Structure 1
Amino acid sequence: MFQWFYEIDHVTQALIATLFTWFVTALGAGLVFIFKTINRKVLDGMLGFAAGVMIAASFWSLLAPAIDMAEKTSKYPVLPAVIGFLGGGAFLWLVDNIIPHLHMGYPTSEAEGIETNWHRSVLLVLAITLHNIPEGLAVGVAFGALATGSSPATIGGAIALALGIGIQNFPEGAAVSIPLRREGLSRWKSFLYGQASGIVEPIAGVIGAIAVVAMEPILPYALSFAAGAMIYVVVEELIPESQLNKNTHVATIGAMLGFAVMMVLDVALG
């Protein structure tokens, strides 16, 4: 049924995969038409789940293939992984300090990035959009790696990564749109803002795939870069936000479940 997907070029595969992750974000955002509020414990569990998926994906789908590939081309195989990993974190740190945004649960006075008078709702959406960049990049790089022929990554692993990111995007979409509704926005505006936070994923995915296909030697660095960017998001945003209301056990259980789901997907498909 899906044989056509295996036969198209890897950049197009990356585009389709990241359009899927964006679509799941939109589905989650669509919950705003059913619910006006969301229980804080449920939200914290969602954030923990997303963190677990991203941690597992960072290792199995990105760092492990990067190290395996570097072992064949470098005297010090861990070096490209370390450089790429820290580079991804540094990039997100830089973007974090430039683009204005506001994390959920914080007052507007604690907005980060360049000072601005943008509306609170825009700042909230930008915070989620920033953290979707490494997710799209990770999926794009994973599919782009398949074109090189020298990567240990498999199309099953790339699909598993896209599925994992997509699954955690569903609660993430709801975690954006429903709080916006509670802030006073209409259901349609809340939905549009919620799904818009994920549209950056196809853009980042295609850029990542094209870069890897065009410059094969950067592949170990690119895979590790995406992993570092995702871990930065987990530690900087997801975990602190999930612990903000002291629902530590709920958030931790969510993280464990998310990690387990991504691990199963990667083993089953990768």
Structure 2
Amino acid sequence: MRFTLIIGVMVVLLMLQGCATTESQNSSRANNSASSQGASKKELENKKADRRLALAIEYLRQGNYDWAKMNLEKAKEHAPKRADIQYAFGYYYQTVGEYELAEEYFLKSIKIDPNQPEVYNNYGTFLCDRGRFEEAEENFLKAVSIKSYTNAGQAFENLAFCSLKAKKEEEANFYFSKALDHNPRLLKTLTHLVNQSILKEDYKSAREYMRDYERATPHSPGSLFAAWTIEVKLDNQRGAATYEEMLMSRFPDSPQAQQLQQIKNQLR
């Protein structure tokens, strides 16, 4: 009897274990299914947010600010905690001149994801435009300190021009040099350095920067006139003649071509 009872208890335990295993498997499957559904829903919401965000940015580019704002609000409904959406709100408010709100959203974006070099770069530009130069520098340097950042040259360029606004020419030149170290094809930096060297009558440096400019992009009327000026000042008649011919043949109706012709007429 006792043996039979033990057997009976063992059978019940085994049955309960089987039930528990089955229930556990069912529960696990249910949890996995719920988790999968949750992930799918989140993915779907993110895709909807992506579409709204893309529309908002396009409307901003077109100057259709009401529609941009509406689509940003829709994007935020789908993904309220996404850093890029918070940043887009900041850019929107900056564009329409609501600077306090713009800064609020820039900081929200950084708080959600502090590893966004492009946001630091753009926030630095925002601060520089407000005359907050030290804070701007701090954010530009945060941007370039992130090793994954592929646009460090642009951030250094922005920092250099910001330093010029702050009347810190020595710092600006240091950051221009850093910008070109990261990206030797930065046309805004090269153009500035050519013009700055000409103004300082440092024509040898101007020639070097002009060579870098020529490697980066085709000539414009302005750059050809600058190149001609440099070679004239360096008493390189052959080089000056080459740039003169290029300017007159490629851009004969440009103001620079007319100015060069006036200079030559005065020298006769």
Larger Rg: 2
Q: TM-score range by the shorter chain?
A: under 0.3
State the structure with bigger RCO (CA 8 A, min sep 6), 1 or 2.
1
TM-score of the two chains, using structure 2 as the length reference: 0.19
TM-score of the two chains, using structure 1 as the length reference: 0.19
